[in-house]
């Protein structure tokens, strides 16, 4: 069965860096676009970034552009999010999700359990 | 950027009720609209994609409709496990979520 497991979250001081990982299993990872989505405490869902199946295409929300970098290693079935210059407002649960291309748009059909990032002094 | 606005923001209902949640896009998004359910402490779960297609494994009491700018999620007969927060999401231009609708027990 499809599984996505995030890791790497934790407490970091504002201005610091963190690298999140998402280990995928149960499907052909290299066939799918992947995405990161976050949820601040008590708030709604916010799209952060996506990466194409071969890493050729990436996209970032304005809120993280220039600070976060998405990448993947298809040999290791893993997705990554390098987060630099972290701010208090980056505090959130970060989810990785698989992107489903249903020919009428894109949806997120499988999600990890999430990893909490706290940027605080 | 395309803005997604859900209404209501919260809703109280009883088991067995028929419930409708609305999502409005700031511009036409054709049928590029998805619905998710999220329970406390859990990841979201895809319910409906392409405005009206039921995701595999999702009970048939959930249905979606709409096109252009106005969309609805309907739960035909509420079950105890349906009390959760629901989000719409557009994929016409990158991705944007609505602010969520919290469905509570009356």
- Considering only CB atoms, B91 lies closest to which of A44, A45, A105, namely A105
- Considering only CB atoms, A47 lies closest to which of B30, B32, B97, namely B97
Closest to A45 measured CA to CA, from A61, A68, A65: A61
Average pLDDT over residues B31-51: 97
pLDDT of A103 reads: 75
Opening angle at CA A38, ends B9 and A78, nearest 5: 145
State pLDDT tens for residues A72-113: 999 999 999 999 999 999 999 999 999 999 777 899 999 999
Asked if A111's CB is within 8 angstroms of B44's CB, the reply is: yes
User: Between β-strands A18-25 and A3-7, what pairing exists: parallel, antiparallel or unpaired?
Assistant: antiparallel
Q: Which residues of A touch B (CB under 8 A)?
A: 35, 44-47, 50, 59, 95, 100, 102, 104-109, 111-114
pLDDT of A4 reads: 98
pLDDT at residue B20 greater than cutoff 80? yes
Asked if B92's CB is within 8 angstroms of A104's CB, the reply is: no
CA A54 to chain B, closest CA, distance in angstroms equals 18
Structure tokens at B10: 């919260």
Whole-Å CA distances, A99 to A29, A57, A110, A115, B59: 11, 14, 8, 19, 22
């Amino acid at each position: 069965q499809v599984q996505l497991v995030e890791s790497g979250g934790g407490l970091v001081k504002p201005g610091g860096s963190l690298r999140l990982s998402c280990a995928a299993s149960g499907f052909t990872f290299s066939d799918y676009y992947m995405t990161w989505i976050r949820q601040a405490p008590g708030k709604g869902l916010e799209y952060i970034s996506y990466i194409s199946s071969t890493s050729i295409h990436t996209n970032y929300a304005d809120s993280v552009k220039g600070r976060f970098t998405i990448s993947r290693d298809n040999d290791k079935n893993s997705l990554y999010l390098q987060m630099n210059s972290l701010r208090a407002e980056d505090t959130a649960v970060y989810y990785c999700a698989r992107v489903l291309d249903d020919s009428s748009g894109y949806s997120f059909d499988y999600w990890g359990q999430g990893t909490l990032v706290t940027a605080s002094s | 950027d395309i803005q997604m606005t859900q209404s209501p923001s919260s809703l109280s209902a009883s088991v067995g009720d028929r419930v409708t949640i609305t999502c409005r896009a700031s511009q036409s998004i054709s049928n590029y609209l998805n619905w998710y359910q999220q329970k406390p402490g859990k990841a979201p779960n895809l319910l409906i994609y392409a405005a009206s297609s039921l995701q595999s494994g999702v009970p048939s009491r959930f249905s979606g409709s709409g096109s252009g700018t106005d969309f609805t999620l309907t739960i035909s007969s509420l079950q105890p496990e349906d009390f959760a927060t629901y989000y719409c999401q557009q994929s016409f231009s990158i991705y944007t979520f609505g602010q969520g609708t919290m469905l509570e027990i009356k």
